[in-house]
Structure 1
């Protein structure tokens, strides 16, 4: 196994954007590609590490940029402002996700018929919105994501398979929000799964987060269980499309 990674500047609405691509250089031929959508701070080492981990599973991981090259949340205030721009313009968010998917499919190591996406926090909303566009991406996985749908009609049916990995005590997604998402996805005739982890708050995959008073904290058991669920999801998804 020889994992390599490199920065990639790519185009999209409001761009250019700068992400990181990771792959196992010892593997021959094309392989599935998986987007990694970032949390509200923007693309960072956390997402790069996830892309590298996906490369270790035999995929091409692409940690994408949703704010634009050089635009990152250096402070909570900056991140909130950047996130607010996309929350207020969901069509723009969806177009940026579609552009990132197109970039992934154009990489020489990627099988364009086998693509997926994962996302964390805001990135969870991003990958759900990509599915909501009716994209023909194979499947998406939301880790401690935000579930509110866009304020307009979305695709029916949703063709992408969906896996949602959720901390039951997450203040950003209440039990009512979970039920509403299940209803939404069922109405859209999506193939969906929701895994909820008890005694688990928001940001449960991120070891650097320890804000339990704000409902945000790393939970190692949920981190391991969710990553394992994602691995099984993509194994089933891509083997079915072989």
Structure 2
């Protein structure tokens, strides 16, 4: 079944297409990318989640077309808090789609934010870095992309529009922190091994509305101690409700099982850390439960 909905949520008329629902989605407990591509899962055996429904989502902003997925527990008829997920700089990979399924299994309405447009997936650090830099340099563009995705998530009958959070991985972690700095009216944001620099949009005192949870690798060479200290000072000056958790020996991208192979392939200081992955996921679960009470 295909459902089309015309909406005026964007400056131009937006088109929302919810295509062919899949009621028997798979989930890898901590899905990752394989050794050759940032776009595919790591080949682990997956288990069936009969109640988690995934729906491809396509929408437009008058300039670009965006492709993503939404996921939710179809066995639960009630409205579910919204959790938007901003991916790593690789784009809308299978890894982040699997994370959306995991979020849905927890009882939330999950949707991946397609920041780049077209559901783009990039396979090397040079292209990924060039694409991501557009949103580091232009936080307002990032916020526009976030708001467009949020408007689509809000349009689902399964979504509780009064309870909204955002989580992000690496690049996505930076983006959700920037959404908080820009005053997005969210219950909370969670950054998994995200960059902490504010890129010129220092948080105003009292200007951060959501609670903030930062899950950081203590051995992350992309986030030195000096940057961590500056970030903590910024959050303190802004009177933000912020919790910062560091994981000893964990490097950048510690939640992605494909990170180690990608690091070796591209000579990047990134590595999967199973203990930090599981521990940080549990912290996120507790955080979401608390903010959505």
Q: What is aligned with 1:127?
A: 176
Whether 1:85 aligns to 2:134 is yes
Q: What is aligned with 2:232?
A: 182
Q: What is aligned with 1:194?
A: 244
RMSD, aligned α-carbons: 1.6
Q: CA separation in 2, counterparts of 1:134 and 1:238?
A: 19
Q: CA separation in 2, counterparts of 1:156 and 1:28?
A: 40
1:17 pairs with one of 52, 66, 72:
66
Q: CA separation in 2, counterparts of 1:206 and 1:5?
A: 21
Q: What is aligned with 2:165?
A: 116
Q: CA separation in 2, counterparts of 1:33 and 1:10?
A: 18
Question: Residue 42 and residue 14 in structure 1: after superposition, are their counterparts in 2 closer, same or farther (change >3 A)?
Answer: farther
- Ranges of 4+ aligned residues in structure 1 off by more than 4 Å: none
1:95 pairs with one of 115, 127, 144:
144
Q: What is aligned with 2:31?
A: none
Query: Which stretch shifts more, 64-73 or 220-229?
Result: 64-73
**Secondary structure at 1:230 match in 2:** helix
2:108 pairs with one of 46, 52, 59:
59
Q: CA separation in 2, counterparts of 1:90 and 1:200?
A: 28
Q: CA separation in 2, counterparts of 1:14 and 1:77?
A: 25
Question: Residue 198 and residue 136 in structure 1: after superposition, are their counterparts in 2 closer, same or farther (change >3 A)?
Answer: same
Greater share of residues in helix: 1
Q: What is aligned with 2:268?
A: 214
- Highest Rg: 1 or 2? 2
Q: Deviations over 1:130-156 (max 9, x none)?
A: 111111111000000001103145444
Question: Residue 139 and residue 75 in structure 1: after superposition, are their counterparts in 2 closer, same or farther (change >3 A)?
Answer: same
Q: Size of the alignment, in residue pairs?
A: 239
> Contact conserved, 1:146 with 1:173, CA < 8 A, in 2?
yes
Q: What is aligned with 2:191?
A: 142
Structure 1: stretches of 5+ with no match in the other structure: none
Structure 2: stretches of 5+ with no match in the other structure: 1-49
The Cα shift of 1:122 comes to 0.0
The Cα shift of 1:74 comes to 2.8
Whether 1:44 aligns to 2:98 is no
Q: CA separation in 1, counterparts of 2:280 and 2:63?
A: 32
Query: Which stretch shifts more, 185-194 or 84-93?
Result: 84-93
> Contact conserved, 1:167 with 1:196, CA < 8 A, in 2?
yes
Q: Deviations over 1:76-134 (max 9, x none)?
A: 22212211222222221122122222222222111101111110000001111111111
Question: Residue 47 and residue 13 in structure 1: after superposition, are their counterparts in 2 closer, same or farther (change >3 A)?
Answer: farther
> Contact conserved, 1:98 with 1:130, CA < 8 A, in 2?
no
**Secondary structure at 1:215 match in 2:** coil
